[in-house]
Amino acid sequence: MAKGLRYLVALGKQKRFLETAGVSEKDFFLASFPKSGNTWLRYLLAYSIFPAEKISYQTLSSLLPSVYDEPFSIEHLSPPRFIKTHDAFFSLY
């Protein structure tokens, strides 16, 4: 029971964080298990969506951000945006 309550509290915090960050219904979340190719997929998407940009590990987070980036910022990107996460599915995703 306590584990479920901790999960619900953490989920509520994550949902409020994403709502205040400006995430909209037009955005896409790349949700997967860690070490399952999420970053590789972000590289492929970056090369196809931003062909004029020079894609590197340093620029990847600015083009296709992760919810774990410090600070998390998506205001500079126009929708639809692709956002990386390893969190469980919930209604905002």
Please check the confidence at residue 44 and state whether its pLDDT lies above 90: yes
Task: Kindly tell me the sign of the dihedral angle through the C-alpha atoms of 37, 42, 44, 45.
Answer: positive
Q: What is the CA radius of gyration of the chain?
A: 14
Predicted model pTM: 0.71
Confidence label for 41 from pLDDT (cuts 50, 70 and 90)? very high
Please give, one letter per residue, the 3-state secondary structure of 58-88: HHHHHHCCECCCCCCCCCCCCCCCEEEECCC
Q: Tell me, what amino acid is at 51?
A: P
CA 86 to chain centre: 8
